[in-house]
Amino acid sequence: MKDNLDLATSARELADSEQPGTLNHAAATSVAITCATTRNLQHARQTLGGVSPASVRDAAINLLDRLAG
Tell me the per-residue pLDDT of 29-62, one tens digit each, with 9 for 90 and over: 999 999 999 999 999 999 999 999 999 999 999 9
Can you say whether residue 21 is alpha, beta or left, with left for phi > 0 and alpha for psi between -120 and 50 degrees?
A: left
pTM over 0.85: yes
Task: Spell out the domain ranges in the chain.
Answer: 4-68
Region label for 34, one of left (φ > 0), alpha (ψ between -120 and 50) or beta (otherwise): alpha
Q: In whole angstroms, give the CA distance from residue 4 to residue 59.
A: 18
pLDDT tens sequence across 5-23: 999 999 999 999 999 999 9
